[in-house]
């Protein structure tokens, strides 16, 4: 039986709640502070951005949560994995994604700063992971549920499934404090780049080897 039976695939009626959970988790993340510098606006725009990421995950990847209470959320995307079959495209999800993107990219500053980070991300993609892999695009646990094992559960179960296919996986983090956490799960730092006009770095992390827990 798949290891993932311990996790719950996020349902469409849970998207709004999940977006708020991840938005709270990333409220003080360097990337979110950079893209949404006003702390009051960030509370709203971070949720919108997370909703966009979750919708993209539902359309072209897999989105998991820990339980019906949605303590945490992880969005995974397959990159160049030929035997990975995509789920049925939902017209409602596609429509909703278009709407969220319009809301998110209405601010020139956000567009400019996200474009800068996207350019770095594409450079890392071409340099370090231009081969079949799973990409963890967003991963967050509600602050009120952190340090209770929910994050570990979200990562461990999917990584065990990926290991069965002998595939690598990749993620990036702008919070240097997270590096040690991901290293515990077998990820290794493959490069970092200073984000222009900021005080933080983009860290790319790759997991090639299976990790015994």
The predicted-structure confidence for 26-83, as pLDDT tens digits, reads as follows 999 999 999 999 999 999 999 999 999 999 999 999 999 999 999 999 999 999 886 6
Distance separating alpha carbons of residues 187 and 204, to the nearest angstrom:
9
Question: Of 209 and 27, which is predicted with more confidence?
Answer: 27
Q: What is the pLDDT of residue 83?
A: 62
Structural domains of the chain ordered from first start: 3-81+93-113+126-165 (3.40.630.30)
* H/E run at residue 116: helix 108-128
Contact residues for 78 (Cβ-Cβ < 8 A; gap 6+): 61, 84, 132, 134, 135
Residue 147 backbone class (left: φ over 0; alpha: ψ -120 to 50; beta: rest): left
Per-residue confidence (pLDDT) for residue 85, from 0 to 100: 54
Provide CB contacts within 8 A for 158, sequence distance 6+: 3, 4, 7, 62, 64, 74, 76, 134
pLDDT at 5 over 60: no
Does residue 90 or residue 64 have the better pLDDT?
64
- 167-186 pLDDT, tens digit per residue, is 999 999 999 999 999 999 99
User: Does position 1 have pLDDT exceeding 50, yes or no?
Assistant: no
pLDDT at 84: 56
DSSP 3-state assignment of 166?
Answer: coil
pLDDT (mean) for 7-18: 93
Residue 46 CA to chain centroid, in angstroms?
Answer: 13
- Give kind and range of the element (H or E) at residue 159: helix 150-164
Model confidence at 3: pLDDT above 90: no
For the chain, the farthest-separated pair of C-alpha atoms sits apart, in whole angstroms, at 48
DSSP 33-61: HHHS-SHHHHHHHHHHHHHHHHHHHHHHS
CA distance 76 to 60: 9
CA distance 112 to 30: 16
Give residue 90's pLDDT: 80
pLDDT at residue 112 in the model? 93
Task: Name the pairing type of β-strands 133-141 and 169-173.
Answer: parallel
Gap between the Cα atoms of 42 and 25, Å rounded: 12
Angle (CA) 97-99-101 rounded to 5° is: 70
Q: Inform me whether the pLDDT recorded for 159 exceeds 70.
A: yes
DSSP one-letter code for 93: H
């Amino acid at each position: 039986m798949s290891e993932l039976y311990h996790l719950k695939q996020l349902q469409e009626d849970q998207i709004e709640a999940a977006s708020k959970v991840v938005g709270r988790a990333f409220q003080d993340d360097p990337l979110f502070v950079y893209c949404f510098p006003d702390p009051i606006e960030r509370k709203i725009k971070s949720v919108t951005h997370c909703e966009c990421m979750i919708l993209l995950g539902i359309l072209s990847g897999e989105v998991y949560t820990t339980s019906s209470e949605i303590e945490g959320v992880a969005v995974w995307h397959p990159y160049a994995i030929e035997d990975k079959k995509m789920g049925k495209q939902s017209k409602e999800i596609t429509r909703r994604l278009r709407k969220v993107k319009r809301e998110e990219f209405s601010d020139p500053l956000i567009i400019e700063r996200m474009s800068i980070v996207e350019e770095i991300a594409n450079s890392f993609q071409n340099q370090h992971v231009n081969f079949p892999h799973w990409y963890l695009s967003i991963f967050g646990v509600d602050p009120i549920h952190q340090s209770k094992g929910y994050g570990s559960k979200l990562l461990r179960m999917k990584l065990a499934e990926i290991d069965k296919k002998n595939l690598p996986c990749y993620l990036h983090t702008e919070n240097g404090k997270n590096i040690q956490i991901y290293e515990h799960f077998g990820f290794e730092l493959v490069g970092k780049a200073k984000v222009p006009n900021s005080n933080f770095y983009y860290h790319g992390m790759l997991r090639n080897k299976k990790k015994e827990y």
